[in-house]
Structure 1
Amino acid sequence: MSYTVPAQTRIGHVHLKVSDLQRSLDFYCGLLGFELMVKYGEQAAFISAGGYHHHLGLNTWHSKGMPPAPENAAGLYHTAILYPERKDLAAIYKRLAEAGVRFTGFADHGVSEALYLNDPDENGVELYWDRPREQWPVDEEGNLTMYTHRLDLAGLLRELDK
């Protein structure tokens, strides 16, 4: 029997194993701007955007003081954080660039524009915004045709002048 997940289904949150809780809070809250919702001592914290109970969980239950997971192993590739508008993506790009953050990549995927970086535990992080659906690239039959092209960073930053 075939089953299709309901269209309104969303990914509720991501829970990351981290080696140093405060260092991760400094990154996700101090740098990216998430809000601390609940902290359980020095072992776990739940953070969000806009007061939701949590979008990200951070814990050291099995990872305190441990090195990053090997790059060439099964596991999380990246956590993708969706910004509501292109201007919001431009603002976080400017903030991170001014803070000297090392980006691992930038991409225009046709459906979205994305910035890539790593958190302090080398977990991949994608910061992106989606273009309106009517602007998504499709072929002659109407099939989605995503791609990876160079992101126009200067054009992205011009959003801040509007």
Structure 2
Amino acid sequence: MAWYMNSVEDLAELYNRVKEKNIPIERVSDHGHAIGIYIHDPDGNGIELSYEMPASEWGHDPSGYMIGGTAKGRLSGPWDEALARQAQVTA
């Protein structure tokens, strides 16, 4: 299941609510143009909470090829600390 938020602010609010309720966050993924937060429901089913910026903001050139569309760090929020911890684990 996936929940797509209308804004990065909506995702930040939901992220904070998940943290306040002590729901374990499996991981946070920065896709450059999108942020995904992955949790599980009480039955163990995976849930993605995410926001994707409009395609017009991804960074396309006139030929249709993406330039910088996947540059990480474009959607900063309360998940920045979790991303930094994950980066240290995988480094």
Which structure's residues are more often helix, by fraction? Answer: 2
Residues 75-107 of structure 1 deviation map (CA, whole Å, 9 limit, x = unaligned): xxxx22111111110001001101111111111
Say if 2:55 is the partner of 1:133: yes
Measured in 2, the distance between the counterparts of 1:135 and 1:104 equals 28
Say if 2:29 is the partner of 1:81: no
Measured in 2, the distance between the counterparts of 1:108 and 1:148 equals 9
Question: Is the contact between residue 112 and residue 129 of structure 1 (CA under 8 Å) also seen in structure 2?
Answer: yes
How many residues are matched? 77
**1:156 corresponds to which letter in structure 2?**
G
Say what the alpha-carbon RMSD is for the aligned residues.
Answer: 2.7
Note closer, same or farther for the CA distance 1:121–1:108 as it changes in structure 2 (3 Å cut): same
Residues 41-64 of structure 1 deviation map (CA, whole Å, 9 limit, x = unaligned): xxxxxxxxxxxxxxxxxxxxxxxx
- TM-score when normalising by structure 1: 0.40
Give the aligned partner of residue 156 of structure 1.
77
State the Cα distance separating 1:110 from its structure 2 match: 2.1
Structure with greater contact order relative to length (CA < 8 Å, sep ≥ 6): 2
2:25 to 83, 96, 103: 103
Measured in 2, the distance between the counterparts of 1:81 and 1:146 equals 22
- Return 5+ residue gaps in structure 1 as ranges: 1-78, 158-162
Measured in 2, the distance between the counterparts of 1:122 and 1:82 equals 20
